[in-house]
Structure 1
């Protein structure tokens, strides 16, 4: 009984924190430019459609991890502890990811390398990590895409060269100790760029079908009762006849808006839905800083934004 009470109390506090932020908040977009060498970039939006670069689109944090020293695909969430937690891709071919935290998005902790796939000697990469908080289990899950050659037959002949990705995850309560990596999603095709979010009492996961032959390169959505397992067969593509990657989602009014990188045309796009079933392309309605690459969105308080605008 005490454990159940503690869970609902935690869930209530988590909900209250996010309600208070939503009442006086803006959208914040974390992204990288070019190849990710110069680090973290941020932009903000009042309405969820037009994003303006912070600090004149200069880096707010430069990467120092791995021989490549990259900070690609940054994902930031505000945790139950009130701190901002960020993960990112550190290299094209390392078996770990980057992590840092901040109280204000300006001053960051020492960058930490998390060797999430070090136990897999043949793993080729750890790409596009993201974080989701699982209130039911009172823990965070960090998930990313990795190729382990020969591990999965399906998709091995239809991807990009030697890459045949699947989604993996670890869990943590404190970002100091982590569980052993486990498979998160495999539906017989190369999958990458997952993004998990809570919808009512279930979780939705956006993902990219990375199949190149015959070409897919589109975004889909799948659902589960759990944040770390049980995700269903993916939907039909929710994006159009263009190549899309790096989905991230925000609640804008009555709609879910999924932003994504139209990477072959060097632009950003978006689709919107009220029910996560029927989707409308609204790419002509969104505006981002020039040169923006794969990023993630969250809501922050206006009090947190103001010091960022003074940089």
Structure 2
């Protein structure tokens, strides 16, 4: 009987211990404080941990905007972020095993070979399980490089990428997509083998809304750019899969709130903003899953020590 009870308890423990929760990397304006987290059990209702887990120390402005996190196959969490509005030729990087203790921060100089680069914005991490490498994408503006519409030359962005397996050696920077308009805030989504979606912001005036493009590889080429599925003045898409659907969160910055769309095919979108809840002050990062034990450690770190 004791053996049976032990087996039952072990199975229950394994079930609860392996349960995952959603995490949402975050920052608050003016982005000088550093890395924050939201968490959610269901992907719809989010709770702010109300704590800074990493303060930025690098870059011309020493800010931490657009924090993107992905967990590698060895369990290490990798973090990249926008370190300055303008002037930096790269983005910030740090790593952690528990989201609490972080490595030394360093700059990844991905646009150093382009001396007229204005900025490096919103780096986004993606682990490609087909090629066993990390892909980092970001938006940069190189004046007079591409045709423009109403954009100023210092605001005409395109998406670029680099790849790495160890965050020490990086492939040469390449163009990810030129959709023939200024584009920022892109996110790679894998649906299945040779079926990828790029969720992106059309940053042209007067649009400034969110669209999708499609490709057979994580690094493209991405084609068939869609019509917008959000209203104007929206940015910073963050994507997660909940059940059979995908949720796309976005910053509706003129309305000063967070919106959300649900889709099963990235062709038909239903607004579900009334069903989701994002704490006030949250600015966009990425959504990823962690074991519940990681969240419990974060919560313990935040709680004041009892005397």
TM-score w.r.t. the length of structure 1 is 0.89
Which residue of 92, 95, 104 maps to 1:110? 104
Cα distance in 1 for partners of 2:167, 2:157 equals 25
Aligned to 1:100: 94
Aligned to 2:261: 271
Aligned to 1:237: 228
Q: Do residues 203 (structure 1) and 196 (structure 2) align?
A: yes
- Give the aligned CA root-mean-square deviation in angstroms: 1.6
Q: Does the aligned pair in 1 maintain the 2:17–2:292 contact within 8 Å?
A: no
Q: Does the aligned pair in 2 maintain the 1:21–1:300 contact within 8 Å?
A: no
TM-score w.r.t. the length of structure 2 is 0.90
Q: Does the aligned pair in 1 maintain the 2:151–2:204 contact within 8 Å?
A: yes
SS at structure 2 position matched to 1:293:
coil
SS at structure 1 position matched to 2:84:
coil
* CA deviation vs aligned residue, 1:157-177 (integer Å, no higher than 9, x gap): 322563100000111010011
Q: Do residues 81 (structure 1) and 59 (structure 2) align?
A: no
Q: Do residues 222 (structure 1) and 213 (structure 2) align?
A: yes
Cα distance in 1 for partners of 2:267, 2:82 equals 30
Cα distance in 1 for partners of 2:17, 2:188 equals 19
* CA deviation vs aligned residue, 1:96-126 (integer Å, no higher than 9, x gap): 1001111000111111100000010100000
Cα distance in 1 for partners of 2:80, 2:93 equals 5
- Structure 1: gaps (5+ residues): 1-19
Q: Does the aligned pair in 2 maintain the 1:21–1:301 contact within 8 Å?
A: no
Cα distance in 1 for partners of 2:166, 2:260 equals 33
Cα distance in 1 for partners of 2:169, 2:153 equals 34
Q: Which moved more, 1:258-267 or 1:114-123?
A: 258-267
Aligned to 1:171: 163
SS at structure 1 position matched to 2:289:
strand
Aligned to 2:30: 35
Deviation of 1:298 after TM superposition, in Å, equals 0.6
Cα distance in 2 for partners of 1:145, 1:167 equals 5
Q: Does the aligned pair in 1 maintain the 2:142–2:154 contact within 8 Å?
A: no
Aligned to 2:9: none
Deviation of 1:84 after TM superposition, in Å, equals 0.6
